A and B are shown apart, each in its own frame.
Chain A
């Protein structure tokens, strides 16, 4: 064994026969070329894939890759040229069909060729940076067919013509279109865009430009929008059926621009059918359509919003300044609520609850409600009416709904303190006359006001309710202590805490003897339990129920004011009384006395007194008698005059003055508060800060703020800075 040389095993690669044949490349190529021809002639079935593959493989292996590649290019190009001729020769409708067919053929051929040349595809091509076979095939198709002069334009025109046909209502072969378009897409996005999409968009723009012009001349706004919407949907559908998905945004842009953006203003302002008309007629569908279309274009929604806002402001302004409407405050407010409801519906049903539109609505309402200085008063009167009778038999939920709507209007008021003043007055009257329909409703509204404006706004109002309750307890205690009084006239006293109730000047009045004794007894009872307090009778705010028997025996119960009671009781001791005698005996102030006599002598159905002369006005020398012939179908007759009414001009002035007076300390308090924390502040900033702080109650007038600042300077709360006269300094 020692003689044997040890040999390592070697496995050698199987060496092919060395090719000696110089014409090897040509021969092999010829085989492959022939195969390609056959493939293009639909004769591929007779070919051996394995053999062809091997040939291609060998060529590449023996470094003939280049020959193979260039050969491929040449052959394929030649075939494509032939194909282009045949396509070009196709007539009319056959053109696209032929193109489509040849394209399919080409793809199939390309597939086979690629398979055969796969080795080259994987080795020679990448290492020599050549275009891969498949891509090459597409490029050649593109260059020789699509960009062939005789085909290029014709192809484009044919496609565009078909689209136009479809747009005018004809049915076209969508499948064919899809295939052709897909072909273009497969050839590369630049081919699709340059050879189809760009011209398509241009032609479409022109088409829609013309169409929109035509429509806008003959259609009204609603119809036009319908048509525009239809066209838009059509185009979207078209894209899904046979165009590249990326084209959707582009074509919709074209439609939006030509049909909507270019005609926006004309549509919105179209007479008799434009936006304003739609709003007036509650055309929810049309409005919704307009909203959906316009939101697609720049400034579309803002255009709608602006027109809507100016319309609202105009409408609102007319509502609040129309003298007819101002005669009935309740009607006035109801109209405002109706308008708000209408607009809310439009925004929710047609404008998609768009917040910007909601804001526009709010700002418009705020604008015009405050144009009328009596809005706060009227809203309070509306509430008063509802709480007196309007809410009778209304369910609790509906009550809440109505009150919430009123609160919305309240929020728009700039002078909330004026509202507070009137509300207090009206509430006082309601409470004292016992005329409120629902205590719960009253309280619910107070809670809402508190939530909106804070504790201070409602603390006095709540005080009023407390007083009513306490008074009830006091009365119970009074009658418990003096049970013998039950036989006499029944006294009901409401003790009002001065700060909480609206200030009324208390007037003189002589009560009838029975009443004044009773009142005195109450006074001493009350002061007995509450030392340190002072009671003053408010005879101008009370009521009385009197049982009366008239001449023919008719009995009635009369519900009258305290003043009226004083007058009537006089007739227990006299048949005839002159004005002067009545005035002397009762000591009621003249204007009040005249009013109260008028309501008892001059009003039909309530004329428990007779007056001579029978004139409407009360003269100093008039004489009064009990009207023995008085009749009424009701046993209980109400003659009182304590209902809340729209204020007369002088009363309005007075209230306004009181409001202005109340504002002064509030402004000063705000100034001091701000200066105390900031120490030094310039003029403009003080104005801004003060206005902001007082915003929730009223709109502060810069001139008034200036006055208050000067007053504070005089009283040494503030001083002007020595160097910069625009600055104010807080003096501790």
Chain B
């Protein structure tokens, strides 16, 4: 049998103009989207169609970042993730698109930029608030227990306000008036760190609108001194 000389290559008929670009663009887009989706699938738990904590752990190790690193929290923020420990496909797509990345290596490179983006003041307040709400795992839950708050404080504010955070955590563990923290109190912690001079706390006015827990905190600090 004579060998087939030339393999019949199916060539796409060269059509003129935009249709060609469009389809190639759309095919490129389709490929990108596919890439994002594929990346999603590689970590997702297929039975629930979401990336679960195990998947996130895997993602972290691939990114070379610790599971408890604040950058993962920032990543969750970028994704506008709703449920702690889980990413949906929509969230994944939103996030990666916003970051402008498609592959794992691109994502890895984008992390430092993400961090500096988050740390700019308007974003940081939003991120800070997100961090709290992310901890509200039960439906109708409005408060977070002290233990978790302490960890969260360290994670989120530690690098910027270490001394305040250390003292605050010490106090929160010591006091017994409050067993949980509300969003209002949480937001005021940030405000406290930003506005009040440390360690003297000289410009703190207890007759102003600070939450009571901070009044007690300041009193406790002053007594220790």
Chain A positions near chain B (C-beta within 8 angstroms): 682-684, 687, 702-703, 706-707, 710, 713-714, 720, 725-726, 728
Contact = CB atoms under 8 A, between A and B. Distances in A.
B209 A683 contact: yes
B182 A703 contact: no
Contact of A714 (B184, B207, B209): B184
A683 B208 CA distance: 7
Decide if the interface of chain A is mainly helix, strand, loop or mixed: helix
Given A683-B208, A703-B212, A710-B211, A725 B191 contact: yes
B46 to A, nearest CB: 40
Given A702-B207, A720-B184, A714 B142 contact: yes
Given A703-B215, A714-B142, A726 B184 contact: no
A725 B143 CA distance: 20
Contact of A713 (B184, B191, B208): B184
A714 B212 contact: no
Contacts of B182: 710, 713-714
B115 to A, nearest CB: 25
A13 to B, nearest CB: 100
A710 B209 contact: no
Given A710-B185, A713-B184, 18 more contacts: A682-B209, A683-B208, A684-B208, A687-B207, A702-B207, A703-B212, A703-B215, A707-B212, A710-B182, A710-B211, A710-B212, A713-B182, A714-B143, A714-B182, A720-B184, A725-B188, A725-B191, A728-B209
Contacts of A725: 188, 191, 209
B101 to A, nearest CB: 32
13 contacts: A683-B208, A684-B207, A684-B208, A703-B212, A703-B215, A706-B212, A707-B212, A710-B182, A713-B184, A714-B142, A720-B187, A720-B209, A725-B191
B215 A726 contact: no
A702 B215 CA distance: 12
Interface string B185-225: 10110010000000000000001110110010000000000
Contacts of A684: 207-208
A726 B208 contact: yes
Interface in B172-189: 182, 184-185, 187-188
Contacts of B211: 706, 710
Nearest to B184: A713
> What 6 A-B pairs have minimum CB-CB distances, sorted nearest first?
A683-B209, A726-B209, A713-B184, A706-B212, A714-B182, A707-B212
B122 to A, nearest CB: 12
Contacts of B143: 714
Contacts of A706: 211-212, 215
A13 B73 CA distance: 129
Contacts of A726: 208-209
Contacts of B185: 710
Contacts of B215: 703, 706
A615 B184 CA distance: 61
Nearest to B216: A703
Nearest to A707: B212
**Which of A683, A706, A713, A726 has the largest number of chain B CB atoms within 10 A?**
A706
B212 to A, nearest CB: 5
A707 B209 CA distance: 11
A668 B17 CA distance: 72
Contacts of A683: 208-209
B191 A710 contact: no
A683 B206 CA distance: 11
A707 B142 CA distance: 17
Contacts of B187: 720
Contacts of A728: 209
A715 B191 CA distance: 22
A628 B142 CA distance: 70
Interface string B138-155: 000011000000000000
Contacts of B208: 683-684, 726
Contacts of A714: 142-143, 182, 184
B191 to A, nearest CB: 6
A702 B211 CA distance: 12
A684 B209 CA distance: 8
**Which of B184, B187, B207, B209 has the largest number of chain A CB atoms within 10 A?**
B209
B134 to A, nearest CB: 19
A702 to B, nearest CB: 7
A641 B143 CA distance: 50
A684 B210 CA distance: 11
A98 B182 CA distance: 103
A726 B207 CA distance: 11
Contacts of A702: 207
A707 to B, nearest CB: 6
Contacts of B142: 714
B8 to A, nearest CB: 67
A725 B187 CA distance: 10
A706 B208 CA distance: 10
Contacts of B188: 725
B17 to A, nearest CB: 52
A714 B212 CA distance: 13
A699 to B, nearest CB: 16
A682 B207 CA distance: 12
A675 to B, nearest CB: 14
A32 to B, nearest CB: 94
A75 B187 CA distance: 105
Nearest to B142: A714
A354 to B, nearest CB: 37
Contacts of B184: 710, 713-714, 720
Interface in B44-76: none
B153 to A, nearest CB: 19
Nearest to B187: A720
Nearest to B125: A722
B211 to A, nearest CB: 6
A710 B142 CA distance: 14
Contacts of B207: 684, 687, 702
A714 B142 CA distance: 8
A712 B143 CA distance: 14
Contacts of A707: 212
A710 B207 CA distance: 14
Nearest to B185: A710
Nearest to B182: A714
Interface in B100-142: 142
Contacts of B191: 725
B139 to A, nearest CB: 16
A728 B208 CA distance: 12
A713 B142 CA distance: 11
A46 to B, nearest CB: 100
A702 B207 CA distance: 8
